């Protein structure tokens, strides 16, 4: 094993080691999820050197510099004030979901008008219209971090794979017998997972376009899915009130997470896959232990359905958004409530952290998106202008640009 170079990852803080083994170039990451501005750098470097054989004595000085860089990044003040940069009269019918590529240089919007559009973030210009679906384009994703491909899942029961550079369609994945409502690339970008109203999830080979495996076992619609960060497992959330954990290699179900008393709305892994969080129409959010499949906490407090849940990039904080018009931030480990976000005049359907973990973004049926301080629950800013409810919102990786997609057929860029 020979260390070739270091790569720095800001969010969540980490150092990626690129090394050679048996003639192959490989990478591994050292996650520094607990790193704070005040953390003792020497202690961190010692710890890394002790645990990681690739970090020999001659390399520790380099590692120290990298850790310091990460701390500098963490120390940056988040006082960004967003203004409306552009209104994109994007589609002739309501938008569904929106997503950025990793660098944030472009983003995509899905719509009831059966298209997905690719946009240049800096200019607000339309780069491509991905046409071919015969019904609503609902679920969309870039194959981040690469960003050279886009997957679109449609109510026409198919999923299409596109080149984000040329807009050309590589493959149409056929096999589902009902609407596709969620999808994701695995972290290696070799597989696309699709979840459908037909109660199954399917895995597709990005290269060949073939169906690899069909994951069946749910007794109702699958509406949320997510890979773990190594791509070995997939979780699916269903209207049958359960969440399944699947082994990707065998296609077998490892666990059924049973406990919610109503439909699941969202299911997510945290960064290091030490936790799974699930939101449900039963007004609660549950936290699960992935190895055992046991429920280790139930977060109560919302007066109505929990519509979305989200971890921060380090996986230490957890957000819940509810039809009661409020959202909450919890410590993901202690399950203690950190803050409440109150002020929206309609249900909150989407919630997300900025990659830095210093701001929370919510999208609501009250036609506004709002930014909140997770530490104290203070509303930092109200993003006003949409003329109908907001269905989706996203931060770019830098955390200095926001896109919102609305039922009013427009997409807005805020920066």
Partner 1 sequence: MGLLDLIRKLKSSQDKELRILLLGLDNAGKTTLLKKLASEDVSHITPTQGFNIKSVVSSGFKLNVWDIGGQRKIRPYWRNYFENTDVLIYVIDSADQKRFEETGLELSELLEEPKLQGVPLLIYANKQDLLQAAQASEIARGLSLDTIRDRKWHIQACSAQSGEGIKEGIDWMSTVVGKKK
Q: Interface with partner 1 by CB under 8 A: which residues? A: 92-94, 96-97, 112-114, 135-136, 138, 155, 179, 181, 197, 221, 223, 239, 263, 265, 307, 323, 347, 349-350, 365, 388-389, 391-392, 407-409
| Residue recorded with tokens 């073939």 | 210
Q: Which residues pair with 279 in a beta bridge?
A: 266, 285
- Of 97 and 356, the one with the shorter C-beta distance to partner 1 is 97
- Of 260 and 350, the one with the shorter C-beta distance to partner 1 is 350
- Of 191 and 193, the one with the shorter C-beta distance to partner 1 is 193
Q: DSSP alpha helices (H): ranges in 319-405?
A: none
- Of 105 and 387, the one with the shorter C-beta distance to partner 1 is 387
Specify the length of the chain in residues: 415
Of 287, 191, 289, nearest to 234 by C-alpha is 191
Q: How far is the CB of 114 from partner 1 (least distance, A)?
A: 7
Q: How far is the CB of 343 from partner 1 (least distance, A)?
A: 18
- The answer for 132, left when phi > 0, alpha when psi is -120 to 50, beta otherwise, is left
Q: How far apart are CA 115 and CA 129, in angstroms?
A: 7
CA 70 to each of CA 252, 375, 397: distance values in angstroms, whole numbers, following the listed order: 39, 21, 15
- Of 221 and 312, the one with the shorter C-beta distance to partner 1 is 221
Q: How far is the CB of 130 from partner 1 (least distance, A)?
A: 17
Q: Are 215 and 251 in contact (CB under 8 A)?
A: yes
CA 60 to each of CA 41, 111, 180: distance values in angstroms, whole numbers, following the listed order: 11, 50, 49
Q: How far is the CB of 138 from partner 1 (least distance, A)?
A: 8
Q: How far is the CB of 93 from partner 1 (least distance, A)?
A: 5
Give the DSSP H or E segment for 64.
helix 60-75
Q: How far is the CB of 274 from partner 1 (least distance, A)?
A: 27
Q: Which residues pair with 79 in a beta bridge?
A: none
- Of 149 and 350, the one with the shorter C-beta distance to partner 1 is 350
Q: How far is the CB of 73 from partner 1 (least distance, A)?
A: 33
| DSSP-derived pairing of the beta strands 264-269 and 276-280 | antiparallel
Q: Which two tokens stand for residue 88?
A: 């994109």
Q: How far is the CB of 160 from partner 1 (least distance, A)?
A: 17
Would you give the distance in Å from CA 379 to the centre of its chain? 23
- Of 35 and 182, the one with the shorter C-beta distance to partner 1 is 182
Q: How far is the CB of 135 from partner 1 (least distance, A)?
A: 5
- Of 351 and 383, the one with the shorter C-beta distance to partner 1 is 351
Of 286, 289, 296, 246, nearest to 266 by C-alpha is 286
Q: Which residues pair with 193 in a beta bridge?
A: 184, 203
For residues 249-264, one letter each, b for 16 or more C-beta atoms within 10 angstroms of the residue's C-beta and e for the rest, the string is eeeeeebebebbeebb
Q: Which two tokens stand for residue 49?
A: 């050197």
- Of 93 and 258, the one with the shorter C-beta distance to partner 1 is 93
Count other Cβ atoms within 10 Å, centred on residue 46: 12
Count other Cβ atoms within 10 Å, centred on residue 34: 11
Number of H helices, E strands in the chain: 2, 35
Q: How far is the CB of 100 from partner 1 (least distance, A)?
A: 18
- Of 55 and 323, the one with the shorter C-beta distance to partner 1 is 323
């Amino acid at each position: 094993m020979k260390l070739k170079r270091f790569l720095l990852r800001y969010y969540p803080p980490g150092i990626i080691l690129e090394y050679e083994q048996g003639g192959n170039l490989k990478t591994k990451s050292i996650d520094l999820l607990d790193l704070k501005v005040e953390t003792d750098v020497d202690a961190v470097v010692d710890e890394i050197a002790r645990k990681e054989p690739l970090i020999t004595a001659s390399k520790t000085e380099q590692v120290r510099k990298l850790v310091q860089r990460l701390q500098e990044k963490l120390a940056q003040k988040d006082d960004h004030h967003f203004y409306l940069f552009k209104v994109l009269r994007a589609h002739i019918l309501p938008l569904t979901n929106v997503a950025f590529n990793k660098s944030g240089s472009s983003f995509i919007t899905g719509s009831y008008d059966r298209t997905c559009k690719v946009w240049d973030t800096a200019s607000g210009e339309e780069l491509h219209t991905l046409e071919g679906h015969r019904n609503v384009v609902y679920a969309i994703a870039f194959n981040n971090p690469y960003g050279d491909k886009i997957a679109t899942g449609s109510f026409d029961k198919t999923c299409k794979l596109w080149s984000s550079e040329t807009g050309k369609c590589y493959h149409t994945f056929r096999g589902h017998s009902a609407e596709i409502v969620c999808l994701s690339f695995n972290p290696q970008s070799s597989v696309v997972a699709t979840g459908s109203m037909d109660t199954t999830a399917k895995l597709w080979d990005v290269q060949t376009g073939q169906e690899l495996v069909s994951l069946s076992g749910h007794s109702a619609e699958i509406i949320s899915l997510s890979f773990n960060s190594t791509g070995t497992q997939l979780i699916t959330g269903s209207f049958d009130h359960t969440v399944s954990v699947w082994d990707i290699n065998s296609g077998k179900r490892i666990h059924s997470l049973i406990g919610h008393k109503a439909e699941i709305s969202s299911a997510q892994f945290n960064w290091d896959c030490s936790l799974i969080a699930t939101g449900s129409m039963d007004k609660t959010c549950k936290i699960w232990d992935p190895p055992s499949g046991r429920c280790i906490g139930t977060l109560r407090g919302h007066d109505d359905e929990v519509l979305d849940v989200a971890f921060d990039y380090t996986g230490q904080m957890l957000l819940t958004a509810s039809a009661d018009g409020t959202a909450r931030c919890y410590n993901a480990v202690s399950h203690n409530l950190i803050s409440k976000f109150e002020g929206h005049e309609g249900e909150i359907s989407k919630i997300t952290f900025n990659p830095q973990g210093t701001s929370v973004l919510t999208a609501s049926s009250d036609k506004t998106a709002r930014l909140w301080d997770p530490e104290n629950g203070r509303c930092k800013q109200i993003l006003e202008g949409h003329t109908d409810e907001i269905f989706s919102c996203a931060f770019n990786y830098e955390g200095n640009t926001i896109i919102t997609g609305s039922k009013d057929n427009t997409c807005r860029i805020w920066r």
